[in-house]
Amino acid sequence: MAPDKYTAFIKKKATQLGFEYCGIARAQPLEEDARRLETWLNKGFHGSMKYMENLFDLRVDPGKLVPGARSVITLLMNYFPSQQPSQSSPRVSRYAYGKDYHEVIREKLNVLIFEMRSMIGDLNGRGFVDSAPVLERSWAQRSGMGWVGKNGNLINKQSGSYFFIATLIVDVDLIYDDPFAKDFCGTCRKCIDACPTEAILNDKVIDGSKCISYFTIELKDLLIPQEMKGKFQDWIFGCDICQEVCPWNRFSQPTREPEFKAIPEILEFSIGDWEALTEESFRRIFRHSPLKRAKLAGIKRNLNFIRQDSDENTTEHKGDINDK
């Protein structure tokens, strides 16, 4: 069967599985991305995330992940929630409201590969969702899905940036989409100006070691650096500030994936509720949640950090009143 028939079949199945977008690019080394990644690592922007230094060759060459790779299929799945937390709740990044996306998307990728083998025959392919050193945003741009914004997120002109990106590398020739050539950020600086830790630099470079998501998820130290005090704005797991201010996210629509429905506690818990949480309750409530990555100890460390700011602000406010 011709590549165009295979391509149409794959895109139809991707839609049936709940992916909003499916694009395909020719598998080839990402030479420009390799130079950019090397510079980023040399500047130490990955902080303590030493795993990002590993498997460099695999990150920039799909043929090293799947021998004989011919095509890179990129899939986007919307996670924008229909519900918002109460104003008194500590903040959790929207991607973590529901079930762990690794579990949800991995299952869908396995189904897609099975369907492709049923249709095409024997093929060598692997699916990835944050499970291997793949430069997902670069492949998404090469597949025509959007551009990489100043905040480092892939932005789709029709739907914004609240998407998970999955990648499927196969040794089959397909019909390739045109790369997305234009950058629609223009002169906008909303994400740069809004970032409280100044993690977003010019030229679409992110200092990951300054990002709130880095401190609240990746950093394993017992203490968060004191120079970050007053900058977390109640975020205890991840951060969405740069996406919240992005004008393109006015087009975001609630996800249709039921597995991403918000866990009630994430929407309702106060700081006191989080602080009273036991290990047993944490494991029960968040056993399928991305929050388990930070563990309860990490969540409570983050809570304590933002609680200090809250207590100090309350003290200062009382002092002002007494002075009057």
Contact 60, 134 (CB under 8 A): no
Measured CA angle at 58 (ends 156, 130), to 5 deg: 45
Give the C-alpha separation, 278 to 303, whole Å.
Answer: 14
Give the C-alpha separation, 208 to 56, whole Å.
Answer: 18
Contact 274, 265 (CB under 8 A): no
Would you state the structure tokens that stand for residue 322, as one six-digit string? 């007494």
Would you state the structure tokens that stand for residue 309, as one six-digit string? 């700011």
* DSSP E strand stretches across the chain: 21-26, 71-78, 91-92, 125-128, 147-148, 154-155, 163-170, 235-237
Q: Among the options 33, 61, 130, 183, which is catalytic?
A: 130
Question: Would you give the end-to-end CA distance of the chain in angstroms?
Answer: 82
Active site residue 130: yes
Give the C-alpha separation, 41 to 53, whole Å.
Answer: 7
Give the C-alpha separation, 244 to 74, whole Å.
Answer: 24
Backbone angles phi, psi at 206, to 5 degrees: -110, 125
CB atoms within 10 A of CB 171: 16
Give the C-alpha separation, 301 to 221, whole Å.
Answer: 10
Spatial CA neighbour of 45 closest among 270, 208, 279, 166: 208
Catalytic residue list: 130
